[in-house]
A = this chain, B = another copy of it.
Amino acid sequence: MVIVEAKLIALDWGSTRLRAFLLGDGGKVLATRQSNDGAATLHGAEAYARALGDLIGDWRADHPALQLLACGMVGSQYGWREAPYVRCPADAAALAGQVLRLDDALSIVPGLVDDAAQPDVMRGEETQIVGALALHPELAAEACLVLPGTHSKWARVSNGRVTGFATHMTGELFALLRQHSVLARLMPADGSSPAAPEAFLKGVDAAREDGGLAHQLFAVRTLGLFKQLAPEQLPDYLSGLLIGHEIASELRGAAPGRIALVGDPALCARYVQALTRFGQPAPLLLDNTAPAGLWRLAQTMKLI
């Protein structure tokens, strides 16, 4: 039997989920657990403490000396305690320097704010970015890190620092329109549609034309009404339209350079397809890099 020593408990604590990672030497993931005790469901310090105990009380009992480092909405003003945003440009050292010590054992990574124009914020993604750069140091010189999701983030990295970023409410708009809008009426019930890659690409192509999102969305209805798309194709057309608009909007600015996609593989696969349609080279693909980011930040803080 090989004894592997645990070095850090890393917590990726977002709005909807709490994910815990027991990390060993070099940030190796020894064990993972998750629960639905996301920050959006918890109110007050006791609720957070209880959620943590429920998920990994035994880890802490078994390893009483281990430090815990958390990122995500747990540090928002509606979270366990607020870890104020760090301003861009910022690197791992800037984030590590502003980590909030909640108690002797638990620290919370701050989010980032880009206030060059209207303020934009992230919480949790800054740690995923640190993780991506730790795993792929070649990205640090110049890259664009894209983190698709409910609120997609496009972050520009230069010389190891996040120089700026933009949020797109793509995933949330999809969910709202899929569930609550007039567009939903012609679609099958949620979850019952097989993948329709052609409809997805048709949506991406539409986004590359002029017209404005609020106008083009209406075509989801009319293409259904006129039977140019089958009901089960409409959700993918909508997805392509929204992801296409996100990409079109980002590509209108400065050339993004090397793109790395970080996140859920199925969702990232959609972005790969869409980016290809926009003539972009194949991006680098990374799964959840939060554990690697928390490990790197813990190193930078000399927590381990």
Contact = CB atoms under 8 A, between A and B. Distances in A.
Contacts of A206: 118
A172 B167 contact: no
Contact of A118 (B77, B119, B223, B246): B223
Interface stretch (A42-50, A175-183, A275-283): A175-183
A120 B218 contact: yes
Given A151-B218, A172-B182, A180-B176, A211 B119 contact: no
Given A172-B182, A176-B176, A222-B120, A249 B167 contact: no
A219 B177 CA distance: 20
Contacts of A228: 119
Contacts of A118: 206, 216, 219, 222-223
Report, as a range, how many residues of chain A touch the other chain: 35 or more
A106 interface: no
Nearest to A219: B118
Given A176-B180, A176-B181, A181-B176, A119 B226 contact: yes
A126 B77 CA distance: 50
A210 B151 CA distance: 19
A225 B173 contact: no
Interface in A154-203: 166-170, 172-173, 176-177, 180-182
Chain B CB within 10 Å, residue with most, of A117, A118, A248 = A118
Interface of A: 77, 115, 117-121, 151, 166-170, 172-173, 176-177, 180-182, 206, 209-219, 222-223, 225-226, 228, 242, 245-246, 248-250, 252-253
